[in-house]
Amino acid sequence: MANPNETRRNEGLILQAVLRLAREMRQAAQDGELTGSALILLGSLHRGGAMSAVELARREGLQPQSLSRLLARLDKQGLINRAVDPEDARRHVIAITPAGTAMLMQQMVKRRDWLADRMAERLNAEEKATLVDAAELMLRIAL
CA–CA separation, 118 and 20 (whole Å): 13
pLDDT in tens, the chain (143 residues): 678 889 999 999 999 999 999 888 877 766 567 888 898 899 999 999 999 988 998 888 888 788 889 999 999 999 999 998 888 888 889 999 999 999 999 988 888 899 999 999 999 999 999 999 999 999 999 87
- What does each C-alpha distance from 130 to 7, 13, 94 come to in angstroms? 20, 16, 38
Q: What is the pTM of this model?
A: 0.78
Give the number of other Cβ atoms within 10 Å of residue 104's Cβ: 20
Domains and CATH numbers, the chain: 33-142 (1.10.10.10)
Residue 95, φ and ψ in degrees, nearest 5: -135, 150
